[in-house]
Structure 1
Amino acid sequence: MKFEAHLTSEQLQNYVAKVFGAGYRVEGIARLHGGAQKVVYKIDCTNGFSCVLYVWDLSQNYFKEDILNEPAFQQSYGGGLFAMNNRYLRQRGIRTPELYDMNRDRDWHAFDYALVEYVHGQKAQAYFQEETTVRHELFQRVGDMLSEMHAIERDVYGAADYSGSNDKPCYELQREHAKMSLEYASRHMVSVRDNYSRLLDKLDELEAAIQPRSHYGLIHGELGPDHILVDDQLQPYLIDIEGAGYFDIEHEHSFLGIRFGEYYRYLENNNLDTNRMAFYRYCHHLSLTSGGLKLLHRNFPDQSFAKGLADYHSRCAFEWKA
């Protein structure tokens, strides 16, 4: 049987047999849509087993230009980071699909690829419309898992394997990123260009209110309801974990507030720094404005989504209220 994938049918079968054994025969493969950072396929075998093939093909990444220009310290893309964070999270009891095998040989292909556990279920966003008891149970579990993860701390920020020191506060890095996002948006949106100075002044004002700290929690880095899989036992699993690391947990919570909306109430933490929350939320609005425009310009399949993303978050920045 022929498969349309990054690997030929023969390469895929050999890879599956090498990892799981000769009794695993591939009978079908289907591309799972929705990701902007890596290509994902579901693999079904004749013995009823299913798994997932992840492919980190930079040529099919909608943020290729940003990744190539990103400082090594801040990178959040690639099979190496996925393997490290998968091991790091699972060792600390944070649920994420098991990594069966990672191939980084680059012998036949110019990309990393891996076989990963297939979680039978839906993404957390499907439970927004679920009946109250089930929704409450699930999001309470998500909240508990995040509380446990954020409580894992150390005194330097950065990737899980980073062992150096920090020469500037982490929020300064976020400000630099937000400023680049604002500059990009100002080149493509008249409304942003006309309000550039006002938006930049607000960014400076919010940053100035932050007091330094020397402890950081373990965060996912881009956690929306589409980055949580829920199995048939109502257990949540974190996915797209390449950007996980240590940072201000307010960075995560401000993003959760945007992505989960009214359901963020299940995830709230009452011990957060309000100045950091305001600063990071504003940064997210600028970043998502720029991100939506980049998807729009780089032929992301859902163009209406990309435009809506940029328009909505630019309005949030214009109408900012902490």
Structure 2
Amino acid sequence: MEFSYHLDPADLQEYIGKVFGNSYLIANVTRMHGGAQKVVYKIDCSNGFSCVLYVWDLTMNYFQEEIANENINAQSYGSHLFEINNRYLTAQGIRTPACHDLNKERKCYSFDYALVEYVSGHKAEVYFQHSDLRVQDQVFQRLGDMITRMHGNETHFYGKPDHGGSNAGECYLLQMENANMQLAYASQHIDSIRTNQSRLLDKLYELESRIEPRSRYGFIHGELGPDHVLVTDDLEPYLIDIEGAEFYDIEHEHSFLEFRFGDFYRYLKNDNLDPDRMLFYRFHHHISLTSGGLKLLHRGYPDQQFAKDLAVHHTRCALQFIED
């Protein structure tokens, strides 16, 4: 057995023993791929037990530059955000893998890490192609019910559950600021964005000007694509990658769900959404994902084709706003 991960093998075994007991002996450690902001490993023990190791190593975060500059990406990274959101979602009955232990001591290592429940199953996107329509109905209806319950947790302030109402102003203004930054980055690398940068900015401000004030916010995941939902063999959905969850305009979530789930959004939709916010956030997502794809491409993300396709697709979507 070959070990290759962040913790020294002896330290990891000691940690496992401390949390679960000395009879839990590590048999195998496997890197789980796909994350852009934290490193994830599956740990299998000789007694048949499995769990997951989360590592928040900033040096391996593809958006470390943005986090260092404290822009909007900093709102979705770190063990503290995982801890408070895990606690909040669990208390509200929203399924997410349980946190067995979180280590923030930084005595031996320069990063925080945690042991988290291993949820056996598939990501929700697998069920897009499922042959049994009754199974599809059950999976996505349950997910829709979960999202409705989560969004139904409302408060008069936006931000993280531990902010206690300290955020003033309108939350969509954060997305205005972010869209400006992401558009500036994309314009350096994509000719069609650079040529149309002024028109794209004009459209952004036009959409923003239509939005009416609001003082109630629902709890959202923040990046709820089908790759951030695990479905168990019992067809129960679990939310993962929850660091970005917070109280916010639920239209931010629904405008993302709409294009990430495609035809299956019919199970998730909400008939009481603000159409002006939906359009504004949809446009923002396309700009942000254009830039995000480029950054993954430029910073060595393992799946370069995915990063390239992400930037190309959302460039096309963003430009469509000024063509219509």
Do both share a fold (TM > 0.5)? yes
Task: Give, in whole Å, the separation in 1 of the partners of 2:162 and 2:241.
Answer: 18
Task: Give, in whole Å, the separation in 2 of the partners of 1:317 and 1:193.
Answer: 12
2:250 is matched by which residue type in structure 1? I
Equivalent residues of 1:73, 1:158 under 8 A apart: no
Equivalent residues of 2:151, 2:219 under 8 A apart: yes
Task: Give, in whole Å, the separation in 1 of the partners of 2:165 and 2:266.
Answer: 36
SS in 1 for 2:34: coil
SS in 1 for 2:43: strand
In the alignment, which residue of structure 2 is the partner of 1:43? 43
Task: Give, in whole Å, the separation in 1 of the partners of 2:139 and 2:57.
Answer: 33
Equivalent residues of 1:74, 1:158 under 8 A apart: no
In the alignment, which residue of structure 1 is the partner of 2:145? 144
In the alignment, which residue of structure 1 is the partner of 2:126? 126
2:116 is matched by which residue type in structure 1? V
Task: Give, in whole Å, the separation in 2 of the partners of 1:59 and 1:135.
Answer: 39
Task: Give, in whole Å, the separation in 2 of the partners of 1:246 and 1:11.
Answer: 37
Could you tell me how far 1:190 is from its partner in structure 2?
1.0
SS in 2 for 1:260: helix
Equivalent residues of 1:218, 1:245 under 8 A apart: yes
SS in 1 for 2:265: helix
Task: Give, in whole Å, the separation in 1 of the partners of 2:252 and 2:258.
Answer: 10
TM-score by length of 2: 0.97
In the alignment, which residue of structure 1 is the partner of 2:23? 23
Equivalent residues of 1:199, 1:318 under 8 A apart: yes
Equivalent residues of 1:288, 1:310 under 8 A apart: yes
Task: Give, in whole Å, the separation in 1 of the partners of 2:175 and 2:285.
Answer: 9
In the alignment, which residue of structure 2 is the partner of 1:210? 211
Could you tell me how far 1:264 is from its partner in structure 2?
0.8
SS in 2 for 1:188: coil
SS in 1 for 2:55: strand
Task: Give, in whole Å, the separation in 2 of the partners of 1:246 and 1:76.
Answer: 13
SS in 1 for 2:218: strand
In the alignment, which residue of structure 2 is the partner of 1:176? 177
Q: Structure 1 residue 64 and structure 2 residue 61: aligned?
A: no
Could you tell me how far 1:8 is from its partner in structure 2?
1.4
Matched-pair identity in %: 62
SS in 2 for 1:210: coil
Equivalent residues of 2:72, 2:178 under 8 A apart: no
2:231 is matched by which residue type in structure 1? V
Equivalent residues of 2:67, 2:73 under 8 A apart: no
Task: Give, in whole Å, the separation in 2 of the partners of 1:73 and 1:187.
Answer: 20
SS in 2 for 1:198: helix
The unaligned stretches of length 5 or more in structure 1 are: none
Residues 33-52 of structure 1 deviation map (CA, whole Å, 9 limit, x = unaligned): 11111110000001100000
Equivalent residues of 1:250, 1:277 under 8 A apart: yes
TM-score by length of 1: 0.98
Task: Give, in whole Å, the separation in 2 of the partners of 1:145 and 1:163.
Answer: 24
RMSD of aligned C-alpha atoms?
1.3
Distance 1:256 1:46, change over 3 A: same
Distance 1:168 1:263, change over 3 A: same
Could you tell me how far 1:160 is from its partner in structure 2?
1.1
